Amino acid sequence: FADDGSRLWLKYDLIKDVKQRENYAKFTKFITTSSTNATILKASEELKNGFEGLMGKKVSTIKKADSQVGGIILEVSEKQIFTKNLANDGFAIFSNKGNIIISSKTEVGVLYGAFELLRKVQTGQSLSNISVISNPKIKIRMLNHWDNANGTVERGYAGSSMWKWNELPFRIDPRYIAYARANASIGINATSINNVNASSRFLTAEYLEKIKAVADVLRPYGIKVFISVNFRSPRTLSGLKTSDPLDPEVRQWWNEKTKEIHQYIPDFGGYLVKANSEGEPGPQDYGRTHADGANMLAEAMKPFAGIVIWRAFVYNADPNGDRFKEGYEQFKPLDGKFDSKVIVQVKNGPIDFMPREPFHPMFGAFSKTTLGMEFQITQEYLGQSTHLTYLAPMFKECLDTDTYVKGKGSEVAKVIDGSIYNNQNSLMAGVANTGSDVNWCGHPFNQSNWYAFGRLAWDYSLSSEQIANEWIGMTLTNDVVAKKQINSIMQKSLPTYISYTYPLGLHHMMGEGHHYGPEPWLSKSGRLDWTSIYYHRADSIGLGFDRTGKLSNALKLYSNELIESWGNPEKCNLNYLLWFHHIAWSKKLSTGNNLWDELCFRYYDGVKQVKVLQDEWETLKAHIDFETFQSVQGRLKIQEKEAIWWRDACVLYFQEYSKMPIPKNLTPPN
């Protein structure tokens, strides 16, 4: 029967090849643990269910292996020689006297090891002489849900919220458990369950009881729950006259509220805060700073282990300013002023999750503040649930870019993992793409972005290809040829999308409101920083936002090496060209084409590439379950239609300025 996608990458279907199955069965006869710890029991249960499904035979669970061989031993130990190099949540998997040992200093580390072992089998790798040591590079690996109390999801494209607030705390939807397993399988250990545009309701006793029920489900899987809070809550919920963070009554209110939360959730992860951004309340309403606000919450959190995550996504409509710089400018004077419990969460790029952005200039520029990374898994500007876009290359492009803050080799990833400035904590958050759709994420390929985010938060050095291969093998097929073809589709998908939407460093040209289709012209609201013309600056001379000093000096926020390369239009990576330069239509680029021809080439080529994706997908029919095959096939047809929409809207609009003909022979760049 058709696969509906509900099991994500944890399918555990019978391995078809009998020989392969028999080979694995030699290593998976039993699972051994004497522990009664809830997390270890989850690990053991997962291995049992997984191997029984994959192998089609019973797997026993025993307390001691004694002299038996051919099983898996779960072990939490400080002493194991192999665990010497392990961080707390890290794990080792190795063969020892005929058994496979999964060893970690912590229970959750064993759970992660169990999923790694299952992944090996799910993707057809050998277990003989297995030897794995794996440590997470980032400490807090977190999903941010933008889910509302009324069941809607801000920028959600996969149905309504997966949290059924009307049923909680009494009914536990089995999906919460599936969610916990999926997250644990990729190392995600934290989740903030509600929208950053937060309703104060989530802090009421009524909702805390519901959140507690969710936290209880997630706990054995090593996942801590965070709550997004509305800064105005003391006024909204208790009628205080102010929410001024320096007001003693307000501080007392948060102290008490934080204590109350811990009565429900003793291991509460902490607060996530969007303040003074897009109309949300915040400390600036009272003439205070972001640090004043964050530190007040940190003080309330002092008796507990939790932390405060404060977002840096702030901007104002300033016709003479540059939104690119605002986060940096508001936060830079506060570097060193945040409590050690505070992490400032920064979006990967300076504007807003555009399909391609240079990394946010705050990364590397803050030596006294722990900065966390915020990626968006939900594809707000990336084709939502319709266009096929695999995001690992985008996440990696950001993480792998050198900031040069401490010389060559100071990649963004090293700012985030804390190694550059010796931070004690580290955070990578991804705005979740989960919803109530049967297959969780809408487009069948969108599941791969959730998967990829988790894998990269665990280890950002994994390649996009490897992550895609794992996901394909676990989710779609292990056929070698088909796997290669699907991987190639995934790798091509992001450049293709960018080509017909935002080539050459164009950004923020989507329709205001829905953020889906093209709107390169002045939008209805006319609010400057929400309209495309503010960003692309098309005129009779050329195209692009000059951020090298004349209009804005945003480029100066980066290290000299980057100013040198990005600041020079001759040297600037074409992918970022129009982010930093206003280029004349007739200017010859390194490809040999002038700007106008190159732009047209990219828009037209993007559409052609969607056809290539379609053709390649057609060849996979025999390897993909029919429902998934058809779903992707249909979406690729819509994608083609909409790629043409983007191309025509943008090319025709810009042509009004360039006044140049669309070149007849759209030659590929050199």
If one counts every other C-beta atom within 10 angstroms of the C-beta of residue 600, the result is 23
Minimum distance, C-beta of residue 386 to ligand GCU, in the bound complex (Å): 17
Which of residues 315 and 404 has its CB atom nearest to ligand GCU in the complex? Answer: 315
Q: Which is nearer to ligand GCU, 274 or 547 (CB)?
A: 274
Tell me the C-alpha to C-alpha distance, in Å, between residue 225 and each of 163, 175, 433: 13, 16, 17
Q: Is 357 in the site for ligand GCU (CB under 6 A)?
A: no
Among 37, 197, 419, 491, binds ligand GCU (CB under 6 A): 197
Buried b (16+ CB within 10 A) or exposed e, 64-78: ebeeeeebbbbbbee
352 or 357, CB closer to ligand GCU?
352
Is 275 or 557 the residue whose CB approaches ligand GCU more closely? 275
Nearer to ligand GCU, 313 or 502 (CB): 313
Q: Is 512 in the site for ligand GCU (CB under 6 A)?
A: no
- The correct pick among 7, 21, 155, 175 for binding ligand GCU (CB under 6 A) is 155
The conformation of residue 270, written as its DSSP 8-state character, comes to E
- Element at 478 (helix H, strand E): none
Residues 6+ apart with CB under 8 A from 377: 143, 391, 430, 431, 432, 433, 449, 450, 453
> Phi, psi (5° rounding) for residue 503?
-70, 160
Which one is catalytic: 22, 167, 278, 618? 278
User: In angstroms, what is the minimal distance from the CB of 299 to ligand GCU?
Assistant: 25
* Least gap, CB of 155 to ligand GCU (angstroms): 5
User: From the CB of 509, what's the least distance to ligand GCU, in Å?
Assistant: 14
Of the residues 42, 141, 235, 274, which one makes contact with ligand GCU according to CB under 6 A = 274
Binds ligand GCU by CB under 6 A, chosen from 196, 427, 486, 494:
196
Angle formed at CA 455 by CA 60 and CA 575, multiple of 5 degrees: 160
CA–chain centroid gap for 145, Å, is 11
Neighbours of 321 (CB within 10 A): 15
Residue 658 CB, nearest distance to ligand GCU (Å)? 30
Residue closer to ligand GCU, measured from CB, 107 or 380: 380
Shortest approach of ligand GCU to residue 530 CB, angstroms?
A: 9
Nearest approach, Cβ of 344 to ligand GCU (angstroms)? 14
Q: Of 91, 87, 90, which is closest to residue 102 (Cα–Cα)? A: 91
The CA distances from residue 526 to 5, 521, 529, 538, 657, in Å, are: 42, 10, 9, 16, 20
User: What binding mask, one character per residue, do residues 219-258 give for ligand GCU by CB under 6 A, x or -?
Assistant: ----------------------------------------
For ligand GCU, the closer CB: 376 or 548: 376
- Please give the residues from 417 up to 456 whose contact with ligand GCU meets the rule CB under 6 A: none
Q: How many CB atoms lie within 10 A of CB 22?
A: 12
Interacting residues with ligand GCU between 370 and 389 (CB under 6 A): 380
| 25-56 CB burial, b ≥16 within 10 A, e <16 | bebbbbbbbebeeebbbbbbebbbebbebbbe
Active-site entry in 46, 147, 326, 380: 380
Q: Which of 46, 244, 352, 374 is catalytic?
A: 352
Number of residues forming the site for ligand GCU (CB under 6 A): 9
User: Of how many residues is the chain composed?
Assistant: 670
- 292 in catalytic set: no
User: How far lies 62's CA from each of 33, 96, 106, 274, in Å?
Assistant: 6, 17, 20, 49
278 is catalytic: yes
**Exposure class string for 367-381: b at 16+ Cβ within 10 A, else e:** eebbbbbbbbbbbbb
352 binds ligand GCU (CB under 6 A): yes
Rounded to a whole number of angstroms, the minimum distance from the CB of residue 513 to ligand GCU is: 9
Per the annotation, the verdict on 479 as an active-site residue is: no
Q: Among 501, 496, 546, 529, which residue's Cα sits nearest to residue 650?
A: 501
Q: Token match 């939407």: residue?
A: 501
Q: How far apart are CA 153 and CA 155, in angstroms?
A: 6
- Which positions from 297 to 336 touch ligand GCU by CB under 6 A, shown as an x/- string? ----------------x-----------------------
The residue (of 327 and 567) whose beta carbon lies closer to ligand GCU is 327
Q: Check if the beta carbon of residue 653 is closer than 8 Å to that of residue 596.
A: no
Question: Could you say which residues in the range 555-614 bind ligand GCU, by CB under 6 A?
Answer: none
The CB-of-393 to ligand GCU minimum distance in angstroms stands at 22
User: Which of 154, 465, 512, 616 lies at the binding interface for ligand GCU (CB under 6 A)?
Assistant: 154
Q: Which is nearer to ligand GCU, 441 or 651 (CB)?
A: 441
Q: Which residues are catalytic?
A: 278, 352, 380
What residues line the site for ligand GCU (CB under 6 A)? 154-155, 196-197, 274, 278, 313, 352, 380
